[in-house]
Amino acid sequence: MSGARKAVVSVPATSANVGVGYDCLGIALDLRATFTFEESDGLVIDGCLEKFRGEDNLAWTSYLEACRRMYREPRPMHLTIDSPIPLSGGLGSSSTCVVAGVVAAQLLNGDGFDPQAALNVATFLEGHPDNVAPAIMGGLVSSFSDGRDTRSLRFDVADGISFVAIAPPYEVRTADARKVMPESVSTETCVWQVGHAVATVQALQSGDCDLLAAACQDRLHEPFRARLIPDYEPLRRTALAAGAAAFLISGSGSTMLAVCDGDEGARRVANAVNNMVENHIDGLWVRVLGCSPKGVTFEV
């Protein structure tokens, strides 16, 4: 197709919940997926697993929904996905698809990038804002939503904070991890979560790892979800013994996130989990990552 318009959209991986901020807090990480949308005579999807190449591809369906909401006629696309994000879950791979589709629709079929509109549609499509908001805005983001409008507050993460993402070689599906949540919680648990969530945001902003260690103690979802990750306990023990300030289930798992004081500390934790002898895990995916101050970026 000559003169075909093209958008290349780059979206960071994200770690949702940050322990005590269930469905509210999320951090953008410096690991990015790239989606190339190019006008074409028919739908073609490549670069991803065969099972994601159909009309139900999440980036494509998100593109269609964003066009529908803008009252614009979608055009067929050749979509190429280049993603290093593990499919075991927990690093916001679905949000990269949703955000890429929505932003590509705004760029190619709408009036240009509109971050607030993207946030509202992406939250609707993903069901909660804690991955899509940092994927759009970068940094550490706290959000709330009334189902129509999402309000998101962005904070910088201190330079000294490093993360170790640890993905075991098995998947935990978000839908399954949401089913194990308690239907109701006590006032005591609510009070615990609110106080600890505010302190977690402050600790990450200031780089205060002692405060982070005390603040990052979730009682709402992690105690129930840890059971879905057979290697959770040995990995947690090993990461904390190697000096991690906090150890979290990233999103709904199975990926876990160790939060560390500096890159050197993070490398020590990465080595320790990679070299576990007694509970060695074949096929463990481990990366030292920083926070990405940038959210979605694009070229048209």
Ligand X SMILES: N[C@@H](CCO)C(=O)O
Ligand Y SMILES: Nc1ncnc2c1ncn2[C@@H]1O[C@H](COP(=O)(O)OP(=O)(O)OP(=O)(O)O)[C@@H](O)[C@H]1O
User: Rounded CA gap, 274 and 166, in Å?
Assistant: 9
What does 97 interact with, of ligand X, ligand Y, none (CB < 5 to 8 A by kind)?
ligand Y
Cβ atoms 51, 63 nearer than 8 A? no
Residue 17 found at the interface with ligand X (CB under 6 A) = yes
Task: Write down the least CB distance from residue 125 to ligand X, Å.
Answer: 12
What does 247 interact with, of ligand X, ligand Y, none (CB < 5 to 8 A by kind)?
none
Residue 92 found at the interface with ligand Y (CB under 6 A) = yes
Nearest residue to 272 (alpha-carbon basis) of 242, 234, 243? 242
Total residues at interface with ligand Y (CB under 6 A): 21
Q: How many CA atoms lie within 13 Å of 32's alpha carbon, on the beta-carbon side?
A: 19
Residue 62 found at the interface with ligand Y (CB under 6 A) = no
Which secondary-structure segment (H or E) carries 143? strand 140-145
Residue 11 found at the interface with ligand Y (CB under 6 A) = no
230: left (phi over 0), alpha (psi -120 to 50) or beta: alpha
Residue 129 found at the interface with ligand X (CB under 6 A) = no
Report, in angstroms and rounded to the nearest whole number, the Rg of the chain calculated over CA atoms. 19
Total residues at interface with ligand X (CB under 6 A): 12
Query: Which residue number, 58 or 77, has a Cβ lying nearer to ligand Y?
Result: 58
Task: Write down the least CB distance from residue 262 to ligand X, Å.
Answer: 27
Euclidean distance between the first and the last CA atom of the chain, given in angstroms as a whole number: 17
Residue 90 found at the interface with ligand Y (CB under 6 A) = yes
Segment 238-297, which members bind ligand X (CB under 6 A)? Answer: 251-252
Q: Which tokens sit at 116? A: 């607030």
User: Rounded CA gap, 2 and 86, in Å?
Assistant: 35
Query: Which residue number, 101 or 251, has a Cβ lying nearer to ligand X?
Result: 251
Q: Which tokens sit at 286? A: 């481990």
What does 60 interact with, of ligand X, ligand Y, none (CB < 5 to 8 A by kind)?
none
Residue 143 found at the interface with ligand Y (CB under 6 A) = no
Task: Write down the least CB distance from residue 36 to ligand Y, Å.
Answer: 13
DSSP 145-178: E-SS-EEEEEEPPPTTEEEEEEE-SS---HHHHH
Residue 91 found at the interface with ligand Y (CB under 6 A) = yes
Cβ atoms 17, 221 nearer than 8 A? yes
Query: Which residue number, 104 or 272, has a Cβ lying nearer to ligand Y?
Result: 104
- Specify binding-site residues for ATP: 86-96
- Which residues of the chain form contacts with ligand X (CB under 6 A)? 16-17, 22-23, 128, 130-131, 174, 177-178, 251-252
- Which residues of the chain form contacts with ligand Y (CB under 6 A)? 16, 48, 52, 57-58, 81, 83, 87, 89-95, 97, 131, 173-174, 251-252
